[in-house]
C-alpha cells in the first residue's frame, strides 16, 4: 500500500450479512469468484459477466502495471435493492469494499454496472488511497467507453457542466464526499475526463507518482502544490485549459 495511505473506508451502513448466505450460487474464473442468486438476471448473464470482468482485469492491470494479485476479487450480484440493502447495507448500484476485497453490485434487467470501474478501486490499492476526485476519476477514465444509465460519459459531462462545483470545491476528500448524490454521474464524468486528460498529456507513470503522493487527509492547498510539481501548473489553471469535446 502507499506509504501515506490506508485502506480504511467510511462505510457507516456496511453489513456482512452476505457472508455465508445459503442462497448464493458461485462461479470461478481466473481472477474472480462470482456470487449470484439462482434464476436471477446475473445467473442468466454469468458467462458474459465473467468474460467482461476478465477483460476488464487485463485492461486495468496493463495500464496500472501493479503487482499481481494474491487473492481473487469476490463479486456479489444482488437481484434487487431490498436484498442488497439487507445483506450489505447499501442499495446503490455498486461498491468496492477494500477490507474484504469485495465488489457488490445491484444487477437487474435494467441496470448492469459491470466493467472496469469498481475493479479499478481494488486493483489500484497498491498505489494508496487518493482523494475521491482522483480515485473515482481514475476508475471513470478506465471505464470511459461504458454507457451509464443510458448515456455516454460525454453526454453526462455536457449535461452537468453548469451544475458542477468549481474545481477547488471538490478536490479534498471531504468536499468530494459532500457533493450531491443526485448529481453523482456529473461529478464522476468530470473527474474521469480530468484524469483522462492528465494521463493523455503526461503519461500514466507521472499520474501514478502523483496519485501515490496524495492522501485523503490532505487540504486543497497541499494537493495543489503536489499537483503543480507533477503537472507543471496548478489545479485551477489546468482545469481552465481543458476543452470538453468527444474527440
Kindly report, residue by residue over 57-113, the tens digit of the pLDDT. 999 999 999 988 889 999 999 999 999 999 999 999 999 999 999 999 999 999 999
What was the pLDDT predicted at 209? 98
Distance between CA atoms of residues 247 and 83, nearest Å: 41
pLDDT above 50 for 216: yes
pLDDT above 70 for 5: no
The helix or strand, by DSSP H or E, that contains position 64, with its residue range, turns out to be helix 46-64
CB atoms within 10 A of CB 189: 28
For residue 214, the number of C-alpha atoms closer than 13 Å in the C-beta half-sphere is: 27
For residue 29, the number of C-alpha atoms closer than 13 Å in the C-beta half-sphere is: 19
Domain count, the chain: 2
The stretch 36-50 carries a mean pLDDT of 98
Distance between CA atoms of residues 124 and 121, nearest Å: 6
Q: Give the 3-state secondary structure of residue 76.
A: strand
With contact defined as beta carbons under 8 Å apart, do 130 and 214 qualify?
yes
pLDDT, tens digit (0-9, with 9 covering 90-100), for 204-214? 999 999 999 99
With contact defined as beta carbons under 8 Å apart, do 27 and 46 qualify?
yes
Read off the pLDDT band of 245 (50, 70, 90). Answer: low
Q: Residue 198: inside a domain, yes or no? A: yes
One domain, residues 137 and 234: yes
The stretch 148-158 carries a mean pLDDT of 94
One domain, residues 172 and 151: yes
One domain, residues 142 and 234: yes
Average pLDDT, the chain: 93
Q: Residue 136: inside a domain, yes or no? A: yes
Read off the pLDDT band of 157 (50, 70, 90). Answer: very high
CATH code (residue 34): 3.40.30.160
What was the pLDDT predicted at 3? 30
Q: Residue 106: inside a domain, yes or no? A: yes
One domain, residues 115 and 142: no
One domain, residues 167 and 202: yes
One domain, residues 123 and 136: no
Distance between CA atoms of residues 163 and 159, nearest Å: 8
Which among 98, 127, 156 is the end of a domain?
127
Burial class (CB in 10 A: 0-12, 13-18, 19+), 237: middle
What was the pLDDT predicted at 12? 87
Q: What is the largest CA-CA distance in the chain?
A: 54
Read off the pLDDT band of 7 (50, 70, 90). Answer: low
Read off the pLDDT band of 10 (50, 70, 90). Answer: confident
Read off the pLDDT band of 31 (50, 70, 90). Answer: very high
Local structure of residue 166 (DSSP, 8 states): P
- Burial pattern 71-99, b for ≥16 Cβ within 10 A else e, equals eebbbbbbbeeebbbebbbbebbbbbbbe
One domain, residues 29 and 116: yes
Kindly state the cell numbers that stand for 36: 449470484
What is the extent of the structural domain holding 120?
24-127
Task: Tell me which residue has cell 443526485.
Answer: 182
Q: Residue 28: inside a domain, yes or no? A: yes
pLDDT above 50 for 246: no
Q: Residue 3: inside a domain, yes or no? A: no
* Cα→Cα distances 50→6, 13, 26, 74, 228, Å: 29, 28, 11, 12, 40
pTM reported for the whole predicted model: 0.93
CB atoms within 10 A of CB 25: 15
Amino acid at each position: 500500500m502507499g506509504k501515506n495511505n490506508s485502506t480504511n473506508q467510511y462505510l457507516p451502513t456496511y453489513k456482512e450479512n452476505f457472508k455465508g448466505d445459503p442462497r448464493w450460487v458461485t462461479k470461478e474464473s481466473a481472477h474472480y469468484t462470482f456470487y449470484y442468486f439462482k434464476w436471477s438476471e446475473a445467473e442468466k448473464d454469468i458467462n458474459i459477466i465473467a468474460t467482461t470482468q476478465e477483460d476488464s482485469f487485463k485492461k486495468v492491470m496493463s495500464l496500472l502495471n501493479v503487482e499481481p494479485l494474491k487473492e481473487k476479487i469476490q463479486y456479489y450480484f444482488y437481484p434487487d435493492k431490498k436484498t442488497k440493502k439487507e445483506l450489505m447495507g447499501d442499495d446503490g448500484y455498486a461498491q468496492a469494499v477494500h477490507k474484504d476485497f469485495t465488489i457488490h453490485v445491484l444487477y437487474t434487467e435494467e441496470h448492469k454496472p459491470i466493467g472496469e470501474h469498481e475493479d479499478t478501486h481494488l486493483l489500484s490499492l497498491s498505489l494508496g488511497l487518493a482523494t475521491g476526485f482522483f480515485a473515482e476519476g481514475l476508475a471513470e477514465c478506465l471505464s470511459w467507453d461504458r454507457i451509464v444509465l443510458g448515456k455516454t460519459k460525454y453526454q453526462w459531462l455536457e449535461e452537468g457542466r453548469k451544475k458542477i462545483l468549481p474545481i477547488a470545491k471538490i478536490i479534498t476528500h471531504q468536499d468530494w464526499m459532500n457533493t450531491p448524490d443526485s448529481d453523482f454521474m456529473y461529478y464522476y464524468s468530470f473527474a474521469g475526463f480530468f484524469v483522462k486528460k492528465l494521463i493523455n498529456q503526461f503519461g500514466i507513470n507521472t499520474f501514478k507518482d502523483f496519485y501515490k503522493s496524495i492522501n485523503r487527509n490532505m487540504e486543497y492547498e497541499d494537493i495543489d502544490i503536489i499537483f503543480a510539481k507533477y503537472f507543471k501548473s496548478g489545479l485551477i489553471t489546468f482545469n481552465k485549459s481543458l476543452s470538453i469535446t468527444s474527440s
